[in-house]
Amino acid sequence: MFELTKPQKEIRKAAKDFAKGEFDKELACELEKRCEFPKKIWKKAADLGFIGIHFPEKYSGGQMGMLESVLITEEFCRSDSSIGCAITQASFASECILKFGSEDLKNEFLPKVAEGKIISGAALTETKRGSDYKNINTTAVKSEGEWVINGNKTYVVNGGVAGFYVVLCKTGSDDVPIEKQLTMFAVEADRGGLTTENVGKKLGNNMVATSSMVLKDVTVPDSNMIGKEGKGYAQLNTFQDENRILVAAQALGNALGSYDRMMEYVKGREQFGKKLAEFQVSRHKIADMATKIELSKLILYKTAWSRDQGNLDRKLSSMAKMTASRTAMEVGAQTIQLYGGYGYMMEYEIERYYRDAKVIEIQEGARDVQKDIIADAVIGKIK
């Protein structure tokens, strides 16, 4: 549990070496300014097997586990938070097809994702709904063996660049429990009636396209349904529980990236005849950061390991995500504080790491959402 296997260490080193060779600081700044996806780097990463590493080999994956995915995500985001997040989210929501889709859907989409031929995306959230998925308005109505989808989505991950989307729709009538009303569909980006519009520049994570989506009489065959009708809400919960592990890995990598740059700076920067790292106030901040990073790493690795043993623990996933994202925010803030005015300037990477950390903190449910999930699990039913 506390020692990575030799293959896992090799995967971590391969990810670190790849990032070191491909993630360029100047390129990252330009891509971030232009809100542009790092397409060339993504394709190279796919060629080397870093995308869909947990997919079975028959779908062009590496047939490895969540912990291996965590190690890759951590190293990518440690090297560059923005590029790392963009590449590791290129397969976003394809796990829904992997876990719940038919064999035909898996064969159709998963190899293309793993091989870097298409990006996957998800249209789950709706305006003013936030995490309130039980009250979505997008509908899918069955008609002669097909489904006709109508509705509006917002904050669509990889919107406008994805080859297909996992779309959450209401298919059940109001007289059945809400947990049985929702269904997931795979919707190709070129389906008639589907349009996207980029939401514009964000505070951070600008290499990941985020859009609104309009679905007007979008028709998909019955075979594009992911799993069974009415199972969408349960599938969504499972997907989010699993994806929170990868979001936590992004947060850990982000925190480590800030920490690495901070350590290099305080060991070299001299004031009043002493290195910054020699002042007690700096030393105590460094000690706090190192401790929080280690705690985040331990709970994240345990969560990923547990999932790989067949136990996807919802409580642990939320704990890992909440702890790591909070650590990324706190380490980023303290790093800027130690850098002083330099940390606030865009020519340095520190401010970009801090901005990206805020987005990570919100993804897959903000802190209060995670607290509710954790509280539900530890308190249980009250008699």
236-263 confidence digits (pLDDT tens): 999 999 999 999 999 999 999 999 999 9
The structure's pTM equals: 0.94
Residues 216, 2: Cα–Cα separation, whole Å: 51
- Average pLDDT (290-309) is 97
Q: Is 340 left (phi over 0), alpha (psi -120 to 50) or beta?
A: left
338 contact partners, CB below 8 Å, separation of at least 6: 262, 265, 266, 276, 282, 285
Both tokens of 294, joined, read: 């280690």
Name the band, by pLDDT with cuts 50, 70 and 90, for residue 212: very high
Residues 367-381 have pLDDT tens digits of 899 999 999 999 988
- Average pLDDT (126-149) is 88
Strands 120-123 and 164-170: parallel
Q: Are 303 and 317 contacting, i.e. CB atoms less than 8 angstroms apart?
A: yes
Strand runs (DSSP E) across the chain, as ranges?
120-123, 139-143, 146-157, 164-170, 182-188, 194-198, 210-221, 225-226, 270-271, 274-275
Residues that are catalytic: 364
Both tokens of 18, joined, read: 């790849």
Q: Are 219 and 191 contacting, i.e. CB atoms less than 8 angstroms apart?
A: yes
188 contact partners, CB below 8 Å, separation of at least 6: 163, 164, 220
The pLDDT of residue 36 is: 95
- What is the C-alpha R_g of the chain? 21
Residues 94-112 have pLDDT tens digits of 999 999 999 999 999 999 9
Residues 381, 373: Cα–Cα separation, whole Å: 13
Residues 354, 334: Cα–Cα separation, whole Å: 10
